[in-house]
Structure 1
Amino acid sequence: MNIVVSGGGTGGHIYPALALIREIKKETKDVNFLYIGTEKGLESKLVTRENIPFKSIHITGFKRSISLENVKTIMRFFKGVRESKRMLKEFKADVVIGTGGYVCGPVVYAAAKLGIPTIIHEQNSVPGLTNKFLSRYVDRIAICFEEAKAFFPDHKVVLTGNPRASEVLHQDRIKGRISTGLSVGEPVVLIVGGSRGARPINEAVLKSLVQLGGKPYQVLYITGDVHYDEVKKEVELIGNPKNVVIKPFIHNMPEVLAGTDLTVARAGATTLAELTSLGIPSILIPSPYVTNNHQEKNARALSDHHAAKLLLEKDLNSQKLVEEIDRILLDEQKLNEMKKASKQLGVPDAVKRLYQLMKELVDGKK
């Protein structure tokens, strides 16, 4: 089977695509992949680094205000459609899946117009503009949250979960702890603000360091590369408690998550897929700076089911942060109840479900 994958712009669109490709490759050799993205996007680096065939088109997103740039975007879209049709024909694509971002628009639309089976994968509880547009043309719409169903034609929707969830399963809990310098015995709370970090979370943690130093648990604190030097200067003045490990970034997140008992994080779709797959309770601090406030809606999909505590950024301070960590991590019954609730929301077989969906669509075209 020849599978074309398209997704770009942010890691939330790219990492599920890469997870899908990696996991399918593990299961079968009788498959070829082509990834279509943008040359300047993050996907061009991440995809080529994994030796996945990569081609690019030029496309930009629409401005929300009336602008001459939107006219140029429409012209780029139709040019992207023509280029995508050529690439799809050359590759002899059997099926095309878009995982989000502007680049999916022309690629998936081109496939639909050529009669090639198409799927879009929506990671968030509230879909973006591109997937809303494409939902009219594709054969199937794969979702990760039940809440997303209301935005799409009901007969096309399939709950598959996020492929990233499949990658975090079967990780070694002890190995994950040792890799970051944590001890094997005491409980661990992971605090992370995303790949680039989040200043409000960093500020709250820095003000909490002295308090955290006296707790009977360990803290793995990921600052983000952008903020690391600034944080380290502050830590030198305050002092670094022995039970707090500070890192700028970790590349083995699935492994590290396996060794975590509680996570404090933003509410990106990929993060939540990983947490629920492993059944990890969380304190979610949604970014208020995202389109349609989708992170808060993602977070509520967990907090409404008692799998997470929702803490809005405007309510975040050092005292509140420590209180919430203690309330969950130091109450064994509460912790176990949240673990169970989190695990029940996980959809760990996402890759198998998506691959089966692809095969059904391809077989149906024959």
Structure 2
Amino acid sequence: MKILLSGGGTGGHIYPALALMNRLKELYPDAEFLYVGTERGMESTIVPKAGVPFKSVEIQGLRRSLSLENLKTIYLMIKSISKSKKIIKEFSPDVVIGTGGYVCAPVLYAASRLGIPSIIHEQNSVAGVTNKFLARYVSRICLCFEDARADFSKYPEKNVFTGNPRAQEVANIKQEASLTNYGLQNELPTALIFGGSRGAAKINQSMAEAIPLFKEKGYQVILVTGEQHFEKITSQVDSLGENLENVRIVPYVEEMPALFKKVNVVVCRSGATTLTELTALGIPSILIPSPYVTNNHQLKNAQSLEKKGAALILEEKELDAKVMFEAIDSLMMNQEKQKNMAEAARSLGIPDAADRLAAVVKEVIEE
């Protein structure tokens, strides 16, 4: 079995692809993989580090306003389709799988022109532009949110609800972080706040101003700022003259799911992969959707959890130190609500998501 994977730009497109790959390796030890991404995306670093052969094409997204850059985008699309065809012919895959990002457009379109079976994996509750474009050309459309079916209503026979393979990978992680590594106590209730791998300025700023309010609380707080914000936030907090034993500020956490398993509440953005991990582990969350994403899909992702009672939503435009503190404190002080939210989150998890997607892969190859 030879499988070509494509997806890029953010970890939300890359980690599901790698999770699927890891499960397919367990099921089919002789399987071969090739990953096609861009040199500018995170995949150019993450994928080779994972030991996966990597090739790149050059592509960019269309501007939503009239722009000469769109002429360049069309040129790059034509060029990258040609290069993708060459890569596919050389590798000769049994199936091509796209997990999102602009790079999937030329790669999966090229696969369809060459008669190679293909699958797109839509992680969000609202489909992205690339997957909407590819829907007519691919063999299957795999969904993580039932709400996304509406965006692919023209192709009901292709839609399959699989969930995100990252869920199965995270649910099976044995490693559990120790809070002593952060200078905190393993026995105390803990809230974890972060704004994604790169951090989020508004979340960081609100937390920095809220820190004195956590003084003498019977729980702990970890703020993960992101590398680029760390120095500014720590300097700002130091200037307050508050040296709180129950608050820690760190720039980055390498294995976030292992830390999730040690905390009681998570405050974060509502990207698809993060929500997959939270529901897989049954973690109550306060979600602050990024207002800077296409089609406001993070808000819609968050609403999918909120309506099931698995999360609370704070919109960034309402966020300040007081709002942040009160939301965290209210949930941290209410164990019954935490328990109910945890159960609701767990009910949304898809513990066999990787197996479901692997079954679709096998089915498509055998057709």
Structure 2-normalised TM-score? 0.95
Tell me if 1:311 matches 2:322.
no
User: Measured at CA, do residues 305 and 214 of structure 1 come closer, stay the same or move farther in structure 2, by a change above 3 Å?
Assistant: same
Look up the match of 2:262.
259
Tell me, in whole angstroms, the C-alpha distance in 2 between the residues paired with 1:263 and 1:130: 30
Question: Secondary structure in 1 aligned to 2:90?
Answer: helix
* Displacement after TM superposition at 1:257 (Å): 1.0
User: Which sits farther off after the overlay, 15-24 or 55-64?
Assistant: 15-24
User: Which sits farther off after the overlay, 104-113 or 24-33?
Assistant: 24-33
Question: Secondary structure in 2 aligned to 1:227?
Answer: helix
Look up the match of 1:150.
150
- Over residues 153-183 of structure 1, what are the superposed CA-to-partner deviations in whole Å (9 max), with x where a residue is unaligned? 2221111111222222233575343444432
Tell me if 1:302 matches 2:295.
no
Q: Is the 8 A contact 2:178 2:186 kept in 1?
A: no
1:227 to 222, 226, 229: 229
Question: Secondary structure in 2 aligned to 1:71?
Answer: helix
Look up the equivalent residue of 1:22 and give its one-letter code: N
* Displacement after TM superposition at 1:35 (Å): 0.2
Look up the match of 2:210.
208
Tell me, in whole angstroms, the C-alpha distance in 1 between the residues paired with 2:170 and 2:262: 11
User: Measured at CA, do residues 174 and 89 of structure 1 come closer, stay the same or move farther in structure 2, by a change above 3 Å?
Assistant: closer
Tell me if 1:359 matches 2:357.
no
Tell me, in whole angstroms, the C-alpha distance in 2 between the residues paired with 1:220 and 1:170: 24
Look up the match of 1:111.
111
Look up the match of 1:247.
250
Look up the match of 2:291.
288
* Displacement after TM superposition at 1:195 (Å): 1.2
* Displacement after TM superposition at 1:329 (Å): 2.0
Q: Is the 8 A contact 2:96 2:116 kept in 1?
A: yes
Tell me, in whole angstroms, the C-alpha distance in 2 between the residues paired with 1:182 and 1:96: 46
Look up the equivalent residue of 1:24 and give its one-letter code: L
Tell me, in whole angstroms, the C-alpha distance in 2 between the residues paired with 1:180 and 1:106: 44
Question: Secondary structure in 1 aligned to 2:177?
Answer: helix
Question: Secondary structure in 2 aligned to 1:219?
Answer: strand
* Displacement after TM superposition at 1:27 (Å): 3.9
Residues 1-366 of structure 1: pairs in structure 2 closer than 5 A: 1-152=1-152, 153-172=155-174, 174-238=176-240, 239-364=242-367
Tell me, in whole angstroms, the C-alpha distance in 1 between the residues paired with 2:40 and 2:207: 34
Tell me, in whole angstroms, the C-alpha distance in 2 between the residues paired with 1:293 and 1:315: 16
User: Measured at CA, do residues 77 and 340 of structure 1 come closer, stay the same or move farther in structure 2, by a change above 3 Å?
Assistant: same
Tell me, in whole angstroms, the C-alpha distance in 2 between the residues paired with 1:317 and 1:81: 46
Aligned pairs, how many? 364
User: Which sits farther off after the overlay, 313-322 or 143-152?
Assistant: 313-322
Look up the equivalent residue of 2:202 and give its one-letter code: P
Structure 1 residue ranges without an equivalent (≥5): none
Tell me, in whole angstroms, the C-alpha distance in 1 between the residues paired with 2:262 and 2:208: 23
* Displacement after TM superposition at 1:279 (Å): 0.6
Question: Secondary structure in 2 aligned to 1:242?
Answer: coil
> RMSD over aligned Cα, in angstroms?
1.5
Question: Secondary structure in 2 aligned to 1:210?
Answer: helix
User: Measured at CA, do residues 303 and 134 of structure 1 come closer, stay the same or move farther in structure 2, by a change above 3 Å?
Assistant: same
User: Which sits farther off after the overlay, 222-231 or 38-47?
Assistant: 38-47
- Over residues 315-338 of structure 1, what are the superposed CA-to-partner deviations in whole Å (9 max), with x where a residue is unaligned? 112222222222222112111110
Tell me, in whole angstroms, the C-alpha distance in 1 between the residues paired with 2:337 and 2:158: 38
- Report % sequence identity: 51
Q: Is the 8 A contact 2:59 2:80 kept in 1?
A: yes
Structure 1-normalised TM-score? 0.96
Q: Is the 8 A contact 1:200 1:313 kept in 2?
A: yes
Tell me, in whole angstroms, the C-alpha distance in 1 between the residues paired with 2:338 and 2:3: 42
Question: Secondary structure in 1 aligned to 2:267?
Answer: strand
Tell me, in whole angstroms, the C-alpha distance in 1 between the residues paired with 2:364 and 2:88: 17
4+ residue runs of structure 1 moved beyond 6 angstroms? none
* Displacement after TM superposition at 1:127 (Å): 1.3
* Displacement after TM superposition at 1:357 (Å): 0.6
